[in-house]
Copies of this chain bind each other. A is one copy, B any other.
Amino acid sequence: MAQTFTMDDLRQRLQARQHKMTPQRQTVLQVFLDHPGEHLSAEDVHGILRQGKSEIGLATVYRSLELLSELELLQKMEFGDGCSRYEVNTTDPSEHHHHHLICTTCGAVTEFEDDLLDDLEADIQQKMGFHVLNHQVKFYGTCKECQSKN
């Protein structure tokens, strides 16, 4: 089951670092809880919050995204479209290994679950003495839809 974070997780992690719980930080996290599986940029989040009634400064969005990433509630990633994007850092270990399939024709980003990389990480540990904490895997190619259009 996809299990995710609560505002209480946020509160606890903020306290542990002597940061304050603020409405802005809560609403930024909430945006991600409301948009599972999406890869939102700072501008995206800002736009979504503005469309709702929440007033928030863009700089605050940037600062919140960075903080939430440090608290490991979000994960930062780059898809090469010129801006950083974020997604909820799921707490479910079975979802740990989801990779991104990026269609170079239409730009769609979909996900793919896999656990093959556990072996690979063990291999890296053994051969290189490198301790893997996290990884990012991106496959570039052509999605089903774009293939059938040609």
Contact B136 A142 (CB under 8 A): no
A137 to B117, CA, bound (A): 10
* Copy total for this chain: 2
Contact B130 A134 (CB under 8 A): no
Partner of A142, one of B76, B116, B130, B139: B130
Residues of chain B contacted by A138 (CB below 8 angstroms): 135-137
Q: What is the distance, in angstroms, from A143's C-beta to the closest C-beta of chain B?
A: 5
Identity of the chain B residue whose Cβ is nearest the Cβ of A129 in the assembled complex: B144
Contact B141 A132 (CB under 8 A): yes
Q: Among A19-27, A43-51, A59-67, A119-127, which stretch is in contact with chain B?
A: A119-127
Counting contact residues on chain A (CB < 8 A from B), the size range is 35 or more
Q: Does A101 contact B (CB under 8 A)?
A: yes
**Beta-carbon contacts under 8 Å, A93-150 to B:** 101, 103-104, 110, 112, 114, 116-117, 119-121, 123-124, 127-144, 147
Contact A130 B141 (CB under 8 A): yes
Q: Does A52 contact B (CB under 8 A)?
A: no
A78 to B78, CA, bound (A): 7
A114 to B112, CA, bound (A): 20
A121 to B141, CA, bound (A): 11
Contact A101 B78 (CB under 8 A): no
A147 to B124, CA, bound (A): 14
